[in-house]
Amino acid sequence: MNDVFLPDLACLTGLCDETPDTRTFRLRFRDSSKVKDFRFLPGQFIELSVFGYGEAPFCIASSPTRPEALETTVRRTGQLTDALHQLGEGNEVGVRGPFGNGFDVAAAEGKDLLFVAGGIGLPPLRSLIWNVLDERSRFGKVTILYGARTPADLVYKRELDEWGKRSDVEFRVTADSAQPGWSGAVGVVPTLFRKVDLRPKTSLAYVCGPPIMIKIVVQDLVALGFKEEAIISTLERMMQCGIGKCNHCAIGHRYVCRDGPVFSYGQIKELVD
């Protein structure tokens, strides 16, 4: 029997600097059978170990439709992430998972989809976005709205350009404040709502970003006619073990790592209340 607390060795096979403090890491398991058998859903996360520093949970940013690439995007926020950013291609890390419930892709089939992300909140949605775009005929209208504090804080800039050029996606990007050379929209993400064709009655909305952004976006979506159960987000609350044993992420009777991290807004309201 596999020990769920024992990480599998993985090699860093690719690095991409997204912003001055955020980097995307591409991983490949040392064990070829693990490479073949590793399956995950958009929205799930892994526990990543930096040897000598510990482990922490990070969302899987790549899509299950592209199994050759397992990617996670990490911002430098402390000792462990600093150590991770010091690693280069060929260095080894430990990986446990995948954990969590993930997004229900089957439930989204045939529906219009709205993605709303702020800053480092795009990586958890990137996995689902590429899953949808790689199987585009299964879904209705796709709208992607993304914003960050400044243009320099936008992640996946090449992919943003690609999404903006697609005829089967309505894509808008904004920055809270402009910088020299920026020709895009200026303002917080909710200001983009009036610039796109929203369809509350037939849509699912996926929201991820800073807590204050999520709060404002959800309030606006509800006011626009979105049902609470049709607004879906991800929570990050003190996750540690990944399997609901350590109680660090417990909220009432639920564990974010096991029952989430994906919740509908209706479920989040129940947890908070």
- Domain match, 112 and 192 both: yes
- Domain match, 62 and 37 both: yes
pLDDT value of residue 228? 95
pLDDT value of residue 49? 98
Mean pLDDT, residues 2-27 taken together: 94
- Domain match, 92 and 144 both: no
Percent of the chain topping pLDDT 70: 95
Model confidence at 272, pLDDT cuts 50, 70, 90, reads low
CA dihedral of residues 204, 210, 216, 221 (deg, nearest 10): -10
Model confidence at 5, pLDDT cuts 50, 70, 90, reads confident
Cα torsion angle, 64, 66, 70, 73, sign: negative
pLDDT value of residue 56? 94
- Domain match, 194 and 225 both: yes
**In-domain check, residue 129:** yes
Mean pLDDT, residues 5-24 taken together: 96
How many beta carbons lie within 10 A of that of residue 6, not counting itself?
8
Residue 31: CATH number of its domain: 2.40.30.10
pLDDT value of residue 4? 80
The backbone torsions φ and ψ at residue 229, rounded to the nearest 5 degrees and listed phi first, read: -75, -10
pLDDT at 140 over 60: yes
CA distances from 39 to 69, 196, 251 (A): 12, 35, 28
Eight-state DSSP code of residue 7: P
Helix (H) or strand (E) holding 239, with range, is: none
Range of the domain at 89: 8-99
Where is the domain boundary, 66, 99, 132? 99
How far apart (Å, rounded) are the C-alpha atoms in residues 203 and 112? 4
Percent of the chain topping pLDDT 90: 79
- Domain match, 142 and 88 both: no
- Looking at residue 237, its amino acid is R
Torsion-angle region of 272 (φ positive above 0: left; ψ -120 to 50: alpha; else: beta) = alpha
Residue 205: CATH number of its domain: 3.40.50.80
- 206-235 pLDDT, tens per residue? 999 998 999 999 999 999 999 999 999 998
**In-domain check, residue 149:** yes
CA end-to-end span of the chain = 40
Residue positions in the annotated binding site for [2Fe-2S] cluster?
241, 246, 249, 257
- Domain match, 116 and 227 both: yes
Burial class (CB in 10 A: 0-12, 13-18, 19+), 183: exposed
pLDDT at 184 over 60: yes
- 26-83 pLDDT, tens per residue? 999 999 999 889 999 999 999 999 999 999 999 999 999 998 889 999 999 999 999 9
How far apart (Å, rounded) are the C-alpha atoms in residues 150 and 36? 40
- Domain match, 214 and 114 both: yes
pLDDT at 238 over 90: no
Mean pLDDT, residues 105-127 taken together: 97
pLDDT value of residue 138? 98
Where is the domain boundary, 218, 234, 250? 234
Model confidence at 269, pLDDT cuts 50, 70, 90, reads confident
Q: Are 190 and 118 in contact (CB under 8 A)?
A: no
pLDDT value of residue 245? 67
Q: Are 106 and 204 in contact (CB under 8 A)?
A: no
